[in-house]
Amino acid sequence: MPSPPRTAFRERALALMSAHPLIDSHVDLPVIMRSISRNPVETVPLVAGAFPGHVDVPRLRAGRVGGLFMSVWIPAAEGSDWANTEGMLQTAFEQLDLVRLLMKESDFCAARTSAEVRAAFAAGQIAVSIGVEGAHMLGNSLAVLRAYADLGVRYLTLTHTNHNVFASSAGSGGASLEPAHPGDGLSAFGEELVGECNRLGVMIDLSHVSDQTMRDALRLSRAPVIFSHSNARAVCAHARNVPDDVLDLLGTGPGQNDGVVQCVFLPDFVDPHEPTLERVADHIEYLATRCGKRHVGIASDFDGMKDGVAGLEDCSKYPELVAELLARGWSDADAAAVMGGNLLRVMDAVDAVHASLAAAGARASAAVWEGRRDLPAPWGGTDDEEFSDDVKEYLRAARKEWADKGLLDMDNVEPV
């Protein structure tokens, strides 16, 4: 028997969204802000009115949005030069700056924790959290991750559409990428990254990564993970979507991860032949059946795509999706969990792991990418003449030890 038309459930959806925050885990508004102005900071106050793209304050209000994750994203290096991150940090920090400035606008409120999201929602503000979409923006350094965490970054996507020194990517869905790391998953340095994210309370995002990277991260992470904007591959056969064997690793049973898959609206990941709101709901229902309703959420990818699916064209349309779920028989409690409750639960669990590791005295990872050529720093002059005698003596002994271990080319005095 077909579901009743969702128009009959719109008022119920609006009432539910007035009581519980809808949180979109992936919005690319900063991309538009940087792309339409030579002075992107000047666009910050303009978001309060009609703004190009899919997202602005009037439409967020019409869509009853309680919170969203602004994505900090810049393109990854193309082709086989994926380890080259030259110049990326400046641009990434500029994008992060845009988000932090937006947070200070009157309609928005910075929110790193679930309590801060709920407080902003209660105050009638839109909670803004930060995700960094791609570990290529770490500059091949865990120190940058630690700086991001201090600046409020809440999740890190391990790759974008190309590999990086930490992890293997699923690519863009076109020609498959050549494997980057053993097994086409995490590198040893990427395993360190997973542990450091857990220690810092940064959520690990597995959208965009290869299937093996998904499995590796799920095996290693002590905290729940997220897929910030992905769908079910069984419903739409795209490499960016999550395969069933990985979905089966999500859950509350032994060996499972209590994470969440946030369903995305990008047509190619929904159904390239029938990209509609109803098909997004089909993905949500498939995921709910496969791994449980506590493991599903909502992500749009607005402003990160040309067009949304029919019925979800911009951020004013979220009530239609909630009404569709209610029309299909979802309870208010289950719909509220998908709207944002499940993601807030994951945030709390990640924070609990962070607190536990801090209480146990966990220290920052000292791991350094093996490809670095700038360490140890050659800052003492040609013959270390700028250093004191005890530093020179220490370096002589240390360099001999490094050379004996094959870590130093004594002819060039550089790490290898």
Choose among 24, 1, 115: nearest CA to 321.
24
**Residue 295 DSSP class:** G
CA distance 183 to 155: 25
Q: Catalytic residue at 295?
A: no
DSSP per residue over 211-267, as a string? HHHHHHHHHH-SS--EETT--BTTTS--TTSBPHHHHTTBSSSTT-B--EEEE---H
Identified catalytic residue from 24, 28, 285, 320? 28
Query: For the chain, how are helix, strand and coil distributed in percent, rounded to 5?
Result: 45, 15, 45
**Residue 49 DSSP class:** S
Task: Kindly tell me the burial class for residue 165, based on how many C-beta atoms sit within 10 Å of its own C-beta (0-12, 13-18, 19 or more).
Answer: buried
Q: Catalytic residue at 160?
A: yes
Identified catalytic residue from 20, 136, 229, 238? 229
Identified catalytic residue from 20, 54, 136, 160? 160
Task: Report yes or no: 330 and 285 within 8 Å, Cβ to Cβ.
Answer: no
Two tokens, residue 44 = 């910050």
CA distance 342 to 348: 10
Q: Catalytic residue at 136?
A: no
Choose among 221, 257, 223, 227: nearest CA to 241.
227
Task: Report yes or no: 299 and 229 within 8 Å, Cβ to Cβ.
Answer: yes
The CA distances from residue 269 to 79, 206, 272, 320, in Å, are 23, 15, 7, 19
Identified catalytic residue from 20, 24, 56, 133? 133
C-beta atoms surrounding 139 within 10 Å: 18
Identified catalytic residue from 191, 216, 285, 301? 301
> How many CA atoms does the CB half-sphere of 211 hold within 13 Å?
14
CA distance 176 to 231: 19
- Please enumerate in sequence order all residues whose Cβ is within 8 A of that of 329, keeping only pairs 6 or more positions apart, or say none: 3
Q: Catalytic residue at 283?
A: no
Block residue for tokens 């990008």: 266
Identified catalytic residue from 20, 24, 26, 56? 26
Task: Report yes or no: 131 and 205 within 8 Å, Cβ to Cβ.
Answer: yes
Two tokens, residue 412 = 């060039």
User: In 59-94, which positions are buried (b, 16+ CB within 10 angstroms) versus exposed (e)?
Assistant: bbeebbbbbbbbbbbbebbeeeebeebeebbeebbe
Q: Catalytic residue at 26?
A: yes
> Catalytic residues, which ones?
26, 28, 133, 160, 208, 229, 301
